[in-house]
Amino acid sequence: MGKELIHTYRLFLKDSIRKVIDFSQTDQNRGIAPPPIEKPYPKDAKRIDLPQYDQLKKVSGIDLKTAINNRKSRRSYSHQPLSMEELSFLLWATQGIKQKLDDGHALRTVPSAGCRHAFETYLCILNVQGLDQGIYRYLPLEHQLLFEFTEEHLSKRMSQAVFGQSYPEVAAVTFIWTTIPYRMEWRYGIAAHKVIAIDVGHVCQNLYLACEAIGAGTCAMAAYDQEVIDELLRIDGQDEFTIYLASVGKC
Ligand SMILES: Cc1cc2nc3c(=O)[nH]c(=O)nc-3n(C[C@H](O)[C@H](O)[C@H](O)COP(=O)(O)O)c2cc1C
């Protein structure tokens, strides 16, 4: 690969772009209202309550020092299902909302550049107590699950979407984070994309530590077939697309 091409791609990791952007022209500074915190859903959609943060007593796990020390990528899982409390804890730890500030801003359990939180969390649920297999979406404002749809051969399709990596097939749940880039572009214009990539790392790191705390394991996945996974989720692949995944199961 040519040096010039490499240098072009490396630019993505730098912040030089900030000095050439006219920030007065971003949608935020032009007075356009912020996009919604959470992707809208049909009023009659099936929603499932998750145990609230203060009800998660059963999942008080190990101390933080031990969790950090034990953290590793775990690709073997037992057949034990994840409980609703445990799933609720993992969702709270990764994208939970602590305080809604206004219609466009909320403070969460993870940091985000400009408090933009440009992600949605989809779940490919295969083995969670009380839930049918299917694709769900986390609604952080309501702390609920939205049932999206189910598919035949879901576990196989999940594995195919990550180029045949096999552990999502036996995982209790695979977290699939999509980005809605406009949430970040609204504030940062074309300087939005690097910080989106940084932000999703925070989300997944919290998943690793939260899994350790409840005797579960996770493995991040950035090797996936973009078009296949976006099609599986039934999202448009332009204004919303997959950015990162992680499978979770009990150890
Ligand atoms: C951005 C990123 C992408 C990754 N993608 C994959 C993947 O697609 N498949 C996989 O098996 N592991 C993946 N991993 C896990 C790494 O292989 C793992 O973190 C690394 O080998 C270090 O092992 P440890 O996490 O146990 O410390 C990914 C990790 C990160 C941070």
Which tokens in the block code for residue 181?
């880039």
CA distance 146 to 49: 9
Q: What confidence category does residue 58 fall into, taking pLDDT thresholds of 50, 70 and 90? A: low
Torsion angle (degrees, nearest 10) of CA 60, 63, 64, 69? -120
Ligand 1 proximity of 62 Cβ (cutoff 6 Å):
no
- Which amino acid does the sequence have at 157? R
pLDDT of residue 205: 98
Instruction: State residue 60's pLDDT score.
Output: 63
Q: Is 232 in the pocket of ligand 1 (CB under 6 A)?
A: no
Give the confidence band of 53 by pLDDT, cuts at 50, 70, 90: confident
pLDDT at 1: 79
Give the pLDDT mean for 112-126.
98
Please give the distance, rounded to the nearest whole angstrom, from the Cα atom of residue 165 to the centre of ligand 1.
12
Residues 62-77 pLDDT 10s: 889 999 999 999 999 9
Residue 218 in contact with ligand 1 by CB distance below 6 A: no
Taking all residues of the chain, what is their mean pLDDT, rounded to a whole number? 96
201 alpha carbon – ligand 1 mean position (Å): 12
Q: Is the pLDDT of residue 84 over 80?
A: yes
213 C-alpha to center of ligand 1: Å?
19
